[in-house]
Amino acid sequence: MTMPFLLVPGLNCTARVFAGLSDVLWPFGAVTVANHRSGDSISAIAGHILATAPPSFALCGFSMGGYIAFEILRQAPDRVSRLLLLDTSARPDSAQATENRHRRIALADAGKFELVVEQSFPMAVHSDNLDRADVRALHRDMALANGAEAYVRQQRAIIDRPDARTGLAAISVPTMVLVGEGDQITPPEAAEEMHRGIAGSRLVAIERAGHMAILENPQAVHAAVGQWATM
């Protein structure tokens, strides 16, 4: 039996972030990468995605895509058949995170978006991967393709997102929570919190990977996701 998959990218990401993952999932069903560029709130973005999504689907959210995935579950819980939370968090922003987002928004508004992208890379990867030219180049290329305008709009949506922890207990579909062991943005303790809150979920930590585990250690991520597709 096949099933459609709906993959929701993160901030500063395009469909390219899921290129390898799409190949892994394709034997199990059609794969759609959601366009998360429409809407000025997490609720509105989720609504736009649902308007063109399959009637039912297995849902994967990476980083910001996870925040959107929680909203999709709020708006249309009966349409989601299984859930993959990839380097994301159910928590709302901390005061420090919001301050950092406002600072980067100001830089982007001042025409310094490329500097924002450059400054964000060290936090996005494991310390072992700081010299990975391939990951750095893809991180930069996706961000520039998304552009400063979408970046600012999405950052503001992230700041205003609701606390998704209150809805974790209501999630009853097969769920995997996957996190890079060195994720500095949505750290392992946030993944553990989601795992504890979602009954029957599986938690997988990816070695030698940070927030962009999907690019840093794709073999391990793909192996875990293949298992999720058959949970």
What percentage of residues in the chain have a pLDDT greater than 90?
98
pLDDT of the residue at 114: 97
Q: Is 218 inside a domain boundary?
A: yes
Q: What is the DSSP string of 47-103?
A: HHHHHHS-SSEEEEEETHHHHHHHHHHHH-GGGEEEEEEES--SSPPPHHHHHHHHH
Q: Is 138 inside a domain boundary?
A: no
Edge-first strand order for the sheet with 31-33 is: 31-33, 5-8, 57-62, 80-86, 175-180, 202-206
Cα–Cα dist 93/160, whole Å? 8
Q: What is the DSSP letter of 170?
A: G
Cα–Cα dist 18/1, whole Å? 23
Q: Is 224 inside a domain boundary?
A: yes
pLDDT in tens, 35-91: 999 999 999 999 999 999 999 999 999 999 999 999 999 999 999 999 999 999 999
Instruction: Judge whether 93 and 161 are in contact, CB under 8 Å.
Output: yes
pLDDT in tens, 144-174: 999 999 999 999 999 999 999 999 999 999 9
Q: Is 117 inside a domain boundary?
A: no
pLDDT of the residue at 231: 86
Q: Is 149 inside a domain boundary?
A: no
Supply the pTM of this predicted model: 0.96
Cα–Cα dist 159/99, whole Å? 9
Total domains in the fold of the chain: 1
Question: Could you list the residue range(s) of the whole structural domain that residue 72 is in?
Answer: 5-93+155-228
Q: Is 213 inside a domain boundary?
A: yes
Cα–Cα dist 117/114, whole Å? 5
pLDDT of the residue at 1: 56
pLDDT in tens, 139-151: 999 999 999 999 9
Q: Is 142 inside a domain boundary?
A: no
Q: Which residues contact 200 (CB under 8 A, 6 or more apart)?
A: 174, 175
CB-count exposure of residue 166 (10 Å: 0-12, 13-18, 19+): exposed
